[in-house]
Amino acid sequence: DKDGYPHFMLKEINEQSRVIRDSLVGRLRNESVDLSEELKWSNEEIRKWNRIHIVACGTSYYAALIAERLFENVTEWDIRVDVASEYRYRELNSGPETLAIFVSQSGETADTLAAERKAKISGACCLAVTNVPNSTLAREVDHVLLLKAGPEVGVAATKTFTGQLCVLYLLALYLGRVSGTLPDSKQKRLVQELRVLPFKVDTILEDHLLIRGLAEKYANARNFLFLGRGNSFPVALEGALKLKEISYIHAEAYAAGEMKHGPIALLDHDVPVVVLIPRDHLYDKVLSNIQEARARSAPIIAVATSGDQHIIPNAEDILWIPPSEPELNPFLEVIPLQLFAYYVARYKGCDIDQPRNLAKSVTVE
Ligand code: M6R
């Protein structure tokens, strides 16, 4: 049931504040995260680990890359994030001292399942983050954390990306707390921010007509570049993936600092550059990347924090997100990128919910 929306994708984009709220239910106690009902880990077991592997494909992999940065921030374990199709064939240090997390919306992705089986044989503690409780992945692992996203019908993942981010963030905060590496004050600040996140998501969704106008303005471009730094870099990867998979426009994403190592050669007035430039500690660095792109006549579409006057003369067009704790910016940045991809594809008359050559879950290698 599309609930009055023309496509499942648009309906699912609009469900994201509900997904965040549902993800928090039963997982917060006062101002901290408590997952002890779902994860029966003893302190002894947690102390045994010295590394965390996070493994996934596609959009789930990008959610994992964002989470990696939070894990680095709030825990002291070595974190490795990999695509499942690589992880399954690598010679890795894995064993009982490894917590291996497999992120899969469907729980049926062949590469992710193979990676999980490999980790399990090594003796790693295997945890699934999935939307489907009775999926193969959920049945095979030692522990499961479920998304509360509800069924996702559109082939392009949207609300499950947000759900994955929520669950991975909760996990990072929980492990940071129980392992004693995350100060209470920081936990409290991030939990308070998670609680207000749904309202901020809704304010972005209200801007959909503006985003639609912008999408129509740029829909005839043949190539796009997406740039971001820090936790915005994986959001750039996700924004480019959304655009290419449903509109069939070539879109590449780079860590903004890498632009000068090659992609800058592609830039001219025909290549719009979508730049994620939230107000965080990397703001000035990204601004100088914008100036490099502008010097090559590339039109800049900035995703920036409301109230940032400085960005106005530096971009052709701006998509605004509300101010937030920097760790949570990815939740907000991804929404305008999903809507942008959606409206470009709609303008071009593409089959949005069933893009060519793609399946909702990839059950073959
Ligand atoms: O079900 P999974 O999360 O394991 O699926 C992984 C990818 O196949 C999936 O995210 C794919 O990239 C989507 N089409 C993205 O929109």
pLDDT at 74: 96
- Does any ligand 1 atom lie closer than 6 A to the CB of residue 112? yes
Cα of first residue to Cα of last residue in the chain, in angstroms, is: 31
pTM above 0.85, yes or no: yes
> What is the Cα–Cα distance from 219 to 100, expressed in whole angstroms?
40
Q: Which amino acid is at 61?
A: Y
Summarize pLDDT for 326-362 with one digit per residue, the tens.
Answer: 999 999 999 999 999 999 999 999 999 999 999 888 9
- Does any ligand 1 atom lie closer than 6 A to the CB of residue 104? yes
pLDDT at 308: 97
> What is the Cα–Cα distance from 271 to 20, expressed in whole angstroms?
34
Contacts of 30 (CB under 8 A, 6+ apart): none
pLDDT at 109: 97
Determine the distance separating the centroid of ligand 1 and the alpha carbon of 285, expressed in angstroms: 31
Burial of 140 (0-12, 13-18, 19+ CB in 10 A): middle
Of all protein residues, whose CA lies closest to atom 16 belonging to ligand 1? 156
Summarize pLDDT for 203-234 with one digit per residue, the tens.
Answer: 999 999 999 999 999 999 999 999 999 999 99
Summarize pLDDT for 247-287 with one digit per residue, the tens.
Answer: 999 999 999 999 999 999 999 999 999 999 999 999 999 99
Summarize pLDDT for 279-314 with one digit per residue, the tens.
Answer: 999 999 999 999 999 999 999 999 999 999 999 999
Distances (CA, A) of 341 to 251, 261, 262, 344: 11, 27, 25, 5
Enter the DSSP assignment of 268: S
- Does any ligand 1 atom lie closer than 6 A to the CB of residue 60? yes
> What is the Cα–Cα distance from 196 to 192, expressed in whole angstroms?
7
Determine the distance separating the centroid of ligand 1 and the alpha carbon of 334, expressed in angstroms: 16
Of all protein residues, whose CA lies closest to atom 9 belonging to ligand 1? 58
Looking at the CA of residue 156, tell me the nearest atom of ligand 1: 16
- Does any ligand 1 atom lie closer than 6 A to the CB of residue 98? no
Q: Which stretch of DSSP H or E encloses residue 300? A: strand 300-305
pLDDT confidence bin for 70, thresholds 50/70/90:
very high
